Amino acid sequence: MIKYPGVMKHSLAHDRVSNVLLIKIRKEWEKTRMQYVNEPKKIYDFYIYLGVEDPFVSAQLGTIGWIGLPITQLIRKIVKTGMVAINIVRISGTMRL
């Protein structure tokens, strides 16, 4: 919500803040996603290849830089230089890499 302070007005109007934020993330992702086709995004000290067709995890990583602070903090704590981490996400009954 820090990157999109305008969503606060929706929380005061009793709109679902997460829906408003998700719409803003997806709009920004549509504009910027193609820059990650062959180049990873640097997030903290990690270089992460994003799925440009992924409107969920990659969109959040590509726009706000994290998917969930607890997961992001855990990855930062465990993954060290030279290590490889793979996050497998299950969406609608399918496995995606």
Q: 10-residue block means of pLDDT along the chain (97 residues)?
A: 52 60 89 94 86 88 81 78 73 47
Structural domain contains residue 75: yes
Which range of residues forms the domain containing residue 59?
Answer: 7-96
| pLDDT of 4 | 54
Structural domains of the chain, count? 1
The Cα–Cα gap between 87 and 97 comes to 7
Separation of alpha carbons 19 and 41, rounded Å = 25
What DSSP character marks residue 67?
Answer: S
The CA distances from residue 90 to 1, 94, 97, in Å, are 25, 6, 9
Indicate the SS3 state at residue 13: coil
Phi-psi region of 93 (alpha: psi -120 to 50; beta: other; left: phi over 0): left
5, two tokens: 């302070």
Residue 52 belongs to a domain:
yes
Q: Judging by DSSP bridges, how do beta strands 89-91 and 94-96 pair with one another?
A: antiparallel
**pLDDT at residue 75, rounded to an integer:** 76
Does some domain include residue 2? no
